[in-house]
Structure 1
Amino acid sequence: MRRKTLLTLVTVFGLAASPAVASASQPGGWEGTWTASVQKPGDGFAPNWSVKGFADQTVRQVVRVSQGGPAIRIQLSNKYGSTPLSVTGATVGRTGPGAAVDSLRPLSFNHRDSAVIKPGGQLASDLVFLPVRPLEELSVTLYFAKPTGPVSYHFAATSTTYRASGDHRADRDGKAFTETTSSWYVLSGVQVVDPNPRRDVVVAFGDSITDGVGAAENSNDRYPDELAERVRGRFGVLNQGIGGNQVLFDTDLAGEAGTKRLKADVLDQPRVRTVIVLEGINDIGFSEISFPGVPPRPRVTAAQLIAGHKELVRQAHAKGVRAVGATLTPFKGAGYYTEYGEKVRDEVNTWIRTSGVYDAVVDFDKVTADPNDADSINPAYDSGDKLHPNGAGYKAMAAAIDLGSL
């Protein structure tokens, strides 16, 4: 125990003496405990604060970590910004009721209270001594004194974010935070110090079903959340899902194609061992309908999607990352369902199950299917749109993952 305590102190103080860096992948004892893939500012599927940005306003955002540690740092992103982003100040603490916060700590950047993030860049805070437990909720508060213009964000947080006029980063009771939204802004990650670092982080990568659309607000019922509850902090579980994202195609609405964003969102994260890939249903569905923000294109084929999955596996293996393939879940009755699309889904799922290209397979299709109609989602797991699972469905998906495959 004494040796472990000494190792922890050496690691923490060593990192505390190091300046904040822009690279998420820098080693040195850091591991991811929470992430969100950032998107271009836009009205998206619903109004939000990303396009207008912030001016003399404070934003308080709630996240739940997957693994614990003796100290933390946060990561901020200006990936899609066209001008430098000024962050006047920031704090972090343990989440209380609503916008309230406890154990509040000021954050610094290169030993300064404020920071400027260059266009396209990201920035990590300095280490802050705030011990966190697995599955604990943290509130990260950012104050923007100057107008930011449009900001990078993550649309489908399924978590309440709070806003107040003026500088309220040090407020504990949260009473000034009278406005709310369900997206995250600028915040892209939380990392913890691991005194005995090893390559064991698992990243869930995909679309809205990985993102947790269909789960209840503030429930932390996304399938990666449920997986994190199963492992109880033995390793980090990161969520890099984006609602509407596709394997093959970029959209302003839902980000770069999976084959393009895998590097930044997964492979550049520190100490990633395994990626779980659940993606492709939007490539199928959006090629069948017209939808704002999604350019029209010819129907996608199973061969094209399979080639995209092969590319994802190739990239993962090139970095020594294990790839687990997840079968595409049922979507009969969803807004973009067609019989042709179902045929493509079946072909892709058969390939995922039988090709041997993935290192392991989790059969989310079978887990979530209606016992009386395999092309439809089980009514007990349906959030209501015939596409996205509810909390019970996400829990069943996480329970189906063989922990030994990770």
Structure 2
Amino acid sequence: MPARASSLRSWFRRGTVFAAAGLLLLTAAPGASTAPEGRTGPAWVGSWTTGVTVASPGTGLTGFTDTTLRQVVHLSVGGSELRLRLSNVFGSSTLQIGAATVALQHAEGGSRVDEDTLRQVRFGGERTTTIPIGAEWVSDPIDLTVPDGANLTVSLHLPGPTGPLTQHRSAFATNWTTPGNETAAEGTGFTPLGTSWFLLDAVDVRTVSAGSAVFFGDSITDGAITTVDRNHRYPDRVAERVLAKPERAEYGVLNAGIGGARLLTEQGPAGQSAMTRFDRDVSGQSGVRAVVLLLGINDIGGTRGAVLAEDLISVHRQFIARAKSLGLKVYGATLLPFEGAGYYTPDGEADRQALNKFIRTSGEYDGVLDFDRATADPAQPTRLRAAYDSGDHLHPNDAGMEAMAAVVPVDRLVR
């Protein structure tokens, strides 16, 4: 890890999560730290993040030249200031940022911004910056109050040529480009780019909160096959429930899901293995207090059940140990049913059952989110309930994501 990235990451972090009710099974956590009931004053906390990877074939691989890239991210908790984290972790050359702005998305949506909220972004007091290969780069604090659940538009002018970009392939959010430096433009004249995020890594807000919770996983956490631009990923629905509580200590909800991710192996544009990306996607988040792990189905399906369940369990144990060594609460989520999916096999089902048994009964997690039982067809528990099936028998649809979020006891997550 480059020294600059390491120092920024340690500066950018800290903050725990989770408990009981419904399908959450709570166990004691000897030696685990206790999350505070809330903070006495404003502090930096993660409001949004994404898991980043190497570029996939297409725009991410070819990069940009003299282009404004306008992207929208959906915040969880709001605050009185914010700051961006940009990433050149997987870049092949230094990355120049010619200009950057943030603004709330216009009420009409799309590429338009609310011009009253448009703010220039600075790095060390300058409007331009150059990010070294392998580094994460944090902006200066930005004087913009953002409400809970806001859509934040981030515009980056990339003089380029950038070469391959650090990317999040499946954002399920539309983003736009236009030639030249149009970072301060209201937004008409932009062309839809697709549904990937580039270079964005995290958004922190300054607020009174109880910290942040990281939801770490694969495409199911990432929100695969949910409705584009509707923010129906299950962590988004958890955040909605947090913000709907009449009396609450707010906390950030951070989605570190990557489509195709595995516990054991590196997957290129589908992400690094679980422990390889732990520092960046878990301990590197601001105000992190706890993490939920939902991962393993791609190891099982991708090997057609040839992977050993004990190998998957060993990574879960390493994940638990690492999280607890940092004073974090760590929660296991059972793997959802997948019979009927393209990579389903009976051997794979046996692996899934073995891993779920460990998650439920080992007592090594601080608690268990039983997404398996929440989404299974009662008549055939190895399959997703039809009302929750997106059609591929693997990924829940919007209703399935809501059912997953309903398992989470949001009023007790950070206590």
- Same fold (TM > 0.5): yes
1:209 has 2:220 as partner: yes
1:177 has 2:190 as partner: yes
Alignment match, 1:31: 45
Q: For the Cα contact (< 8 Å) 2:169–2:269, is it kept in 1?
A: no
Alignment match, 2:398: 391
Alignment match, 2:134: 120
Q: For the Cα contact (< 8 Å) 1:76–1:186, is it kept in 2?
A: yes
Gaps of 5+ in 2: 1-6, 14-41, 244-248
Find the aligned partners of 1:336 and 1:99 in 2 and give their Cα distance. 38
- Could you give the per-residue CA deviations for residues 24-68 of structure 1, whole angstroms, max 9, x where no partner exists? 64369321100011110122xxxx421011101111000111001
Amino acid in the other structure paired with 1:218? D
Alignment match, 1:262: 278
Alignment match, 1:231: 242
Shift of 1:197: 5.9
Residues 136-175 of structure 1 correspond to what in structure 2 (within 5 A)? 136-172=150-186, 174-175=187-188
Identity, in percent, stands at 42
Find the aligned partners of 1:253 and 1:114 in 2 and give their Cα distance. 28
1:276 has 2:292 as partner: yes
- 2:300 partner SS: helix
Find the aligned partners of 2:393 and 2:11 in 1 and give their Cα distance. 38
Q: For the Cα contact (< 8 Å) 1:380–1:392, is it kept in 2?
A: yes
Find the aligned partners of 1:197 and 1:223 in 2 and give their Cα distance. 21
Find the aligned partners of 1:250 and 1:77 in 2 and give their Cα distance. 19
Shift of 1:279: 0.3
Shift of 1:153: 0.6
| Match among 337, 340, 354 for residue 347 of structure 1 | 354
Shift of 1:299: 1.7
Amino acid in the other structure paired with 2:240? E
Q: For the Cα contact (< 8 Å) 1:66–1:228, is it kept in 2?
A: yes
1:369 has 2:382 as partner: no
TM-score (norm: length of structure 2): 0.87
Shift of 1:270: 2.1
Find the aligned partners of 1:264 and 1:167 in 2 and give their Cα distance. 30
- Could you give the per-residue CA deviations for residues 345-370 of structure 1, whole angstroms, max 9, x where no partner exists? 01110111111011000100011111
Q: For the Cα contact (< 8 Å) 1:60–1:161, is it kept in 2?
A: yes
- Could you give the per-residue CA deviations for residues 301-335 of structure 1, whole angstroms, max 9, x where no partner exists? 11111111011101100000001100000111111
1:100 has 2:112 as partner: yes
Amino acid in the other structure paired with 2:215? A
Find the aligned partners of 1:338 and 1:389 in 2 and give their Cα distance. 19
Alignment match, 2:341: 334
Amino acid in the other structure paired with 1:242? I
Amino acid in the other structure paired with 1:81? G
- 2:64 partner SS: coil
Q: For the Cα contact (< 8 Å) 2:204–2:286, is it kept in 1?
A: no
Alignment match, 1:193: 206
Amino acid in the other structure paired with 2:178? A
Amino acid in the other structure paired with 2:190? F
Find the aligned partners of 2:94 and 2:111 in 1 and give their Cα distance. 28
Alignment match, 2:76: 66
User: Using CA pairs below 8 Å that are at least 6 residues apart, which structure has the higher relative contact order?
Assistant: 2
Amino acid in the other structure paired with 2:12? Q
Find the aligned partners of 2:185 and 2:238 in 1 and give their Cα distance. 33
Shift of 1:284: 0.3
Amino acid in the other structure paired with 1:91? T
Amino acid in the other structure paired with 2:352? R
Distance 1:345 1:376, change over 3 A: same
Amino acid in the other structure paired with 1:99? S
Amino acid in the other structure paired with 1:101? V
Alignment match, 1:218: 229
Alignment match, 1:87: 97
Find the aligned partners of 1:23 and 1:405 in 2 and give their Cα distance. 24
- Could you give the per-residue CA deviations for residues 59-109 of structure 1, whole angstroms, max 9, x where no partner exists? 100011100110111110000112100010000001012100012111111
Amino acid in the other structure paired with 1:337? Y
Amino acid in the other structure paired with 2:138? A
- 1:22 partner SS: helix
Q: For the Cα contact (< 8 Å) 1:164–1:179, is it kept in 2?
A: no
Find the aligned partners of 1:26 and 1:180 in 2 and give their Cα distance. 30
- 2:401 partner SS: helix
Shift of 1:248: 1.1
Shift of 1:405: 4.9
Shift of 1:389: 0.5
1:304 has 2:311 as partner: yes
Find the aligned partners of 2:281 and 2:192 in 1 and give their Cα distance. 30
- Could you give the per-residue CA deviations for residues 194-253 of structure 1, whole angstroms, max 9, x where no partner exists? 2x465x310000000000002100010001000000111810000001000001111213
TM-score (norm: length of structure 1): 0.89
| Match among 243, 250, 258 for residue 266 of structure 2 | 250
Amino acid in the other structure paired with 2:97? V
Gaps of 5+ in 1: 1-20, 289-297
Find the aligned partners of 1:260 and 1:313 in 2 and give their Cα distance. 14
Find the aligned partners of 2:111 and 2:356 in 1 and give their Cα distance. 43
Q: For the Cα contact (< 8 Å) 1:158–1:212, is it kept in 2?
A: yes
- 2:237 partner SS: helix
